[in-house]
Amino acid sequence: MATIPVVPFWGPATSYLKFVMIFQAPPDKQATYVSNLAFDYVVTRFVAEFINTFSSLIFTDELSMHLLTTPLLYRILTFKASPERTKIVGIVLSVLFTIVMVVHMVMNEFLLHAVSFGLAVYMIATRTSKIITQQVPDPFLRKKLRNISFFGICMICPSKMWHILTAIGGYVAVVLVDLVTTGEVHEDPTDDLAWPIPPAARFIESLTGLAKQK
């Protein structure tokens, strides 16, 4: 049965940010590459990527991503730092934030945004792990917080649920950075965190055998 093509309400698609799906072809034929464009406007002709657009209500796009990572970078890079270093870090991060966003928005350039965001996530993850070592004396609790950190990193992945998963990962980053930079951690904060962090932490414990070490 022939499929009637959907005419987008807003006109032809112009975005160059498209996932490409590869389907395995039979052995006697070449592989077929199908653009994500074929799956646009499935729900309604008014919205191309319906789930992606709907989830944007929870976590908006590029600007919000850097508004999340930049303050976190400032917090961890100035932890126990001198006033002079704190001032320099603040100036440098402000300049970099401005450059990245201006280039991305004015020139419609995506690579710089993606690389800078990925680098920021990496720096936050590695630096937070080091601070956990300094601020959490109990080895069991230290391992548990690192597991939660790992869960948060895993949430930041490209998918149709990008905004929702990244919002969860962002929440984990904010909570952990605030927790370990406020003072030494002596009590388990897991049960006080929002869903799905507590069940995720317990699941990781069961996989790693951490629960048996209590």
3-state secondary structure the chain: CCCCCCCCCCCCCCCCCCCEEEECCCCCCCCEEEEHHHHCCCCECCECCHHHHHHCCCCCCHHHHHHHHHHHHHHHHCCCCCHHHHHHHHHHHHHHHHHHHHHHHHHCCCHHHHHHHHHHHHHHHHHHHHHHHHHCCCHHHHHHHHHHHHHHHHHCCCCCCHHHHHHHHHHHHHHHHHHHHHCCCCCCCHHHCCCCHHHHHHHHHHHHCCHHHC
Domain that holds residue 102: 62-213
Q: Is residue 139 part of a domain?
A: yes
User: Of 9, 25, 48, which closes a domain?
Assistant: 48
Domain count, the chain: 2
Q: Looking at residue 1, what is its pLDDT?
A: 43
Averaged over successive runs of 10 residues, the pLDDT of the chain (214 residues) comes to 59 61 47 47 70 62 85 96 96 95 84 90 94 94 92 76 80 94 92 90 82 54
> In this structure, are 80 and 181 located in the same domain?
yes
Q: Looking at residue 12, what is its pLDDT?
A: 72
> In this structure, are 95 and 146 located in the same domain?
yes
> In this structure, are 107 and 145 located in the same domain?
yes
Q: Is residue 136 part of a domain?
A: yes
Q: Looking at residue 64, what is its pLDDT?
A: 83
Q: Looking at residue 72, what is its pLDDT?
A: 96
> In this structure, are 92 and 171 located in the same domain?
yes
Q: Is residue 194 part of a domain?
A: yes
Q: Is residue 57 part of a domain?
A: no
Q: Is residue 56 part of a domain?
A: no
Q: Looking at residue 22, what is its pLDDT?
A: 41
Q: Looking at residue 21, what is its pLDDT?
A: 43
> In this structure, are 99 and 203 located in the same domain?
yes
Q: Is residue 204 part of a domain?
A: yes
> In this structure, are 108 and 17 located in the same domain?
no
Q: Looking at residue 213, what is its pLDDT?
A: 57
> In this structure, are 124 and 169 located in the same domain?
yes
Q: Is residue 54 part of a domain?
A: no
